[in-house]
Amino acid sequence: MTKQAAVLSETQSADAMLRERARRVVPGGMWGHLNAARLPAGYPQFFASAEGCRVRDVDGREYIDFMCSWGPVLLGHRHPDVEAAVRAQAALGDCLNGPGEVMVDLAEDFVAMLPHADWVMFQKNGGDATTACVTIARAATSRRKVLVARGSYHGALPWCTPSVAGVTTEDRAHLLHFEYNDVASLRAAVDQAGKDLATILVTAFRHDMGRDLELPTAEFAAAVRHACDDTGAALIIDEVRTGLRLDIRGSWETLGVRPDLCAWSKAIANGYALAAVSGNDRFREAATKVFVTGSFWCGTVAMAAARATLRIARETDVPAYIRAMGLRLREGLASLADRHGIAIRQSGPPQMPLMLFDDDPEVRKGRAFCSAALRHGAFLHPQHNMFLSAAHGPSDIDAALEAASHGFKAVRELRP
């Protein structure tokens, strides 16, 4: 440690010192959404450890975690069965000259779990999977146009990143937009694409940052399917965020709508880096022809983690459990807000909740709420959907509600 750092350490938190060091050697101190400067005051940027539903920052403060690593953690951090599978596979080797037996085992698990799927391929990140889906759809149809809902997140590659820096118009040349859940705008975009429509790409529900979450209407889901059937385009569902949380068979299964291609990542390996594309036989040949690969896409450890995760999700009905915990949180927040006389809106499936305040265009209330709740040990988010995990028990939810009550107090004390 330099003398300067030693002096700083007496006055600054470990997090602040790491930010200071990072600012010198990492552009902006941190990339993308993980720059804690985007979060309410007091949020740490750096974490030291995690276990179950609790995360610990580098200053030793512990929080009940409602972000679950922004989605990848489904069963709780360091789930013992997943970690045991990881250790056993790691002892044999992770990065080999090609895939291990575990790849075929896992592909069989996926195909057995997903009614829409006849095959599956693996990648690392959600963006790999959404991009591969689009490439396969274009290869299969020999068409170019891709319909996406305005504001939907599908990854951080040039064709889909929410930023415009470094992106050319050509990168987006064949994207057309519609409004999620708006059948008329969907039809207009389909007409606009005409004979060049390769695919309609949709998230399982509308989970755009900062606005109320919206489940798909049955009418919208059916219209997406019909538009694809009428035109021969591929229906791609982006399940990267929702996968294994709403319905392990696929989020639109209860709506009676099956995708042709589906992108998975985040929770499928409970925190280990893995993504997948699943598809039906109509797209098998195209999926064989496209050249998609990556140096780390065969990693056996993440696949072993995914096998354990899928098995537990299946055997213990994780979606039903996290839904029950999410409902407990939702009801608790509603009654606290009521008691404090504060108007809130809760939206989304209970497993992936969002709470917004009325009359809060600049998110002042949301930020004050989250900062105070954080100080009392609950890690929440004011604008992004949150995540429940199978490690959240009723007493954890109740402890988080206690923290949230301080959040509501802070909102009441805000000056207009």
Ligand X SMILES: *Cc1c(COP(=O)(O)O)cnc(C)c1O
Residues that bind ligand X (CB under 6 A): 125-127, 130, 153-155, 203, 238, 240-241, 265
Query: Nearest approach, Cβ of 154 to ligand X (angstroms)?
Result: 5
Query: Nearest approach, Cβ of 17 to ligand X (angstroms)?
Result: 28
Segment 164-172 long-range contacts (CB within 8 Å, at least 24 positions apart): none
CB-nearer residue toward ligand X: 145 or 206? 206
Query: Nearest approach, Cβ of 131 to ligand X (angstroms)?
Result: 9
Query: Nearest approach, Cβ of 377 to ligand X (angstroms)?
Result: 26
What's the CA gap between 64 and 253, in Å, rounded? Answer: 32
Q: Which of 324, 372, 331 is nearest to 355 (CA)?
A: 331
CB-nearer residue toward ligand X: 205 or 357? 205
Query: Nearest approach, Cβ of 60 to ligand X (angstroms)?
Result: 29
CB-nearer residue toward ligand X: 181 or 203? 203
CB-nearer residue toward ligand X: 52 or 126? 126
Q: Residue 377 carries which side chain, given as an amino acid letter?
A: G
CB-nearer residue toward ligand X: 161 or 300? 161
Distance of CA 283 to the CA centre of its chain: 25
Per the document, the length of the chain is 416
Query: Nearest approach, Cβ of 246 to ligand X (angstroms)?
Result: 13
Q: Which residues of 363-402 are buried (b: 16+ CB within 10 A; e: fewer)?
A: bbbbbbbbbbbbbbbbbbbbbbbbbbbbbbeeebbebbbb
Query: Nearest approach, Cβ of 155 to ligand X (angstroms)?
Result: 4
3-class DSSP state of 214:
strand
Yes or no: say if 319 and 387 are a contact pair by the CB < 8 Å rule.
no
Q: Quick one: residue 266, left, alpha or beta (phi over 0 = left, psi -120 to 50 = alpha)?
A: left
- State the virtual CA torsion across 63, 65, 66, 68 in degrees, nearest 10: 150
What's the CA gap between 65 and 74, in Å, rounded? Answer: 12
What's the CA gap between 277 and 287, in Å, rounded? Answer: 10
CB-nearer residue toward ligand X: 131 or 300? 131
Distance of CA 252 to the CA centre of its chain: 17
H/E run at residue 121: strand 119-123
CB-nearer residue toward ligand X: 160 or 190? 160
3-class DSSP state of 47:
strand
What's the CA gap between 82 and 270, in Å, rounded? Answer: 8
CB-nearer residue toward ligand X: 127 or 259? 127
Yes or no: say if 47 and 56 are a contact pair by the CB < 8 Å rule.
yes
Query: Nearest approach, Cβ of 127 to ligand X (angstroms)?
Result: 3
CB-nearer residue toward ligand X: 32 or 60? 32
Query: Nearest approach, Cβ of 294 to ligand X (angstroms)?
Result: 12
